[in-house]
Amino acid sequence: MFSFLSKDQQTGEVAERQLDESNIPAHVAIIMDGNGRWAQQRHLPRIAGHKQGMNTVKTVAKAASQLGVKVLTLYAFSTENWKRPTAEVNYLMKLPVDFFSTFVPDLVKNNIRVKVMGYTDKLPAATQQAVQDAITATQDCTGMVLNFALNYGGRAEIVTAMQQLAQRVQAGDLAPEAIDEALISQHLMTGDLGDLQDPDLLIRTSGEERLSNFMLWQVAYSEFVFMADHWPDFDQTTLERAIYAYQQRHRRFGGLTNK
């Protein structure tokens, strides 16, 4: 039984909550937002927030795996984040190198397999190498998939998939009428996740209530939970609060019954 202490956002009242172990969302996706604001509140440079945010990733990956989450997708860098100042972009590009060089043994110990989705060929060579090494080091892990969205954009992903399908049509090995939802899903960057491609629960931290080009196709029926916490403050309890909120929802998928 997973139980945690929850503090009511309005009244401040603390209550013990129990999670339903039979209803843990299989795929949890998180838009990790608020690193900059977390740092600014402490009169620190924005990159201090990114550094602390990297530690949060470690905590949350282990917590999610222990709760029984099957896929944890984390939005780490969007195709639009290149618009930021060069120094910040450079720092963000170095983070995966630090992250994996210190965390791969823990990932292996927790049976967590690393996957990356995004235009990784546009990342600096050292970042690509770190990512590739982590994928290789964890390739035999059979537990949770830790899926990093790195230089990822939902619209770009759909464009790439459409180009691939158009090429197959042009080559004569695909009939336009054979293009269906399943085939499009398979051509997206989550295609290799099989039944687990679509997030059950999407969390965004830091109070913003928008998708910022994240998994546009896959979130068609995801439950959205927006939280005020900045990402560096996120921890196991925050994750449990989000899952608890998810468990109070009634998913109908257009029908009339729950699930």
Q: Binds 252, which of ligand IPE, Mg ion, none (CB < 5 to 8 A, cut-off by type)?
A: none
Q: Which helix (H) or strand (E) holds 126?
A: helix 125-137
Instruction: Map the footprint of Mg ion across residues 37-96, applying CB under 5 A.
Output: none
Question: Which residue in 71, 92, 116, 146 binds ligand IPE (CB under 6 A)?
Answer: 92
Phi, psi of 42 (to 5 degrees): -100, 10
Residue from 17, 37, 51, 168 in contact with ligand IPE (CB under 6 A): 37
* Binding flag, residue 52, ligand IPE (CB under 6 A): no
**Residue 81 is a catalytic residue:** yes
* Total residues binding ligand IPE (CB under 6 A): 17
Which residues, other chains included, contact 173 with Cβ-Cβ below 8 Å and sequence gap of 6+? none
Q: Does 98 bind ligand IPE (CB under 6 A)?
A: no
Spatial neighbors of 119 by CB under 8 A, at least 6 apart, are 79, 151, 152, 156
DSSP at 179: -
Interaction of residue 33 with Mg ion, rule CB under 5 A: yes
Quote the least distance from Cβ 48 to ligand IPE, whole Å.
11
CB neighbour list of residue 112: distance below 8 Å, 6 or more residues apart = 61, 65, 138, 141, 143, 144, 145, 146
Write out the residues near ligand IPE by the rule CB under 6 A.
31-37, 75-78, 81, 92, 206, 208, 210, 212
